[in-house]
Amino acid sequence: PLLIPNVTNQVWDTKAQVTKAAGACLMAICQTNPNPDIAPAIPAVVNAVCKPSETNKAVEELMGTTFVVTVDAPTLSILCPVLSRSLKEKLAIHKRAACIVINNMSKLVGSPEDVAPFGPLLVPELKKVASSVQFEEIRDEALKALASLTKALGESYKEEEEKKDDAAQMAEEQARVEAEQKRIQEQRDAERKKEEEIQKKEEEEKRKFKEAMDAQRELEKLEAEKARQQKLEEKKQKEAEKLSTKASGKCQGCGLKKCKKTCLFYSGP
């Protein structure tokens, strides 16, 4: 379990010599594993570690494996990385094969301590398969594998997962509450903005109405002044006509061309 992850990292080195040496080293390490059940599949598994495109072939080899001997930590360190990668494959049939192998393997795990480091590697992927794959048969296989693996991980892992689930639910609920509060606040802001716009519109209408009324009063005032001036002009004109006889040649007072002494407009001989 300690050597394999470190050697696997060297498989992806940029230098071909290092990659080749790491592959050979990984093969040598895996072949020291005493579990006879997986011995025939070791070459295929190591090849899958070095070449991810060979992952499905390795899982097919493991499907033909009958697990009889107890599965310990070294065996899990060899198999779990490849199985995890297979659970991420696009084709559902490859996911199904990985689920079957995990189910068979988990039933013979020696102790929870052996499988504990690999729980985070496999459990989330199995949950994804169980919830997202279209075919019911494959979802059932994922649930079986998840049940067997969870049982192998023991009660402590279940409690830890439950705590994580509770924390996730609390986080989700908190996010929901925050989203609802944000929605309410946005709605209030929108309503307040709408009210402000309505108030502004009303004030604008009042202002325009006041301006119109002021203009109307001013117009009426001008018309009244004009009428007053017109009346004054008419009055002056009438008075002027009374004082003048030139318009018709007759006095406006007595109606004669030459006023008598008794006429108000008499001006002498």
Q: Judge residue 129's burial from the number of C-beta atoms within 10 Å of its C-beta, 0-12 exposed, 13-18 middle, 19 or more buried.
A: buried
φ and ψ at residue 76, rounded to 5 degrees: -65, -35
Question: CA-to-CA distance for 78 and 125, rounded, in angstroms?
Answer: 18
Picking from 94, 106, 102, the residue whose alpha carbon sits closest to that of residue 138 is 94
pLDDT of residue 177: 84
pLDDT recorded at residue 85: 93
What do you get for the CA distance between the two ends of the chain, in Å?
Answer: 153
**121, containing H or E segment:** helix 119-132
Beta carbons within 8 Å of 99's beta carbon, 6+ residues apart: 87, 126, 129, 138, 141, 142, 144, 145
Read off the pLDDT of residues 53-92 as tens digits, 9 standing for 90 and up. 999 999 999 998 999 999 999 999 999 999 999 999 999 9
CA distance 103 to 45: 18
What does the pLDDT look like over 192-230, one tens digit per residue?
A: 999 999 999 999 999 999 999 999 999 999 998 998 898
Q: In whole angstroms, what is the distance from residue 68 CA to residue 104 CA? A: 10
pLDDT tens digits for the chain (269 residues)?
Answer: 688 888 888 888 888 899 999 999 999 999 999 999 999 999 999 999 999 899 999 999 999 899 999 999 999 999 999 999 999 999 999 999 999 999 999 999 988 889 988 988 999 999 999 998 989 999 999 999 999 999 998 876 766 666 676 567 778 888 888 888 898 899 999 999 999 999 999 999 999 999 999 999 999 999 989 988 988 888 888 777 666 544 456 666 666 666 676 766 666 66
Confidence (pLDDT) at 162: 63
Question: How high is the pLDDT of residue 2?
Answer: 83
The number of CA neighbours under 13 Å toward the Cβ of 171 is: 6
SS3 246: coil
pTM of the model: 0.58
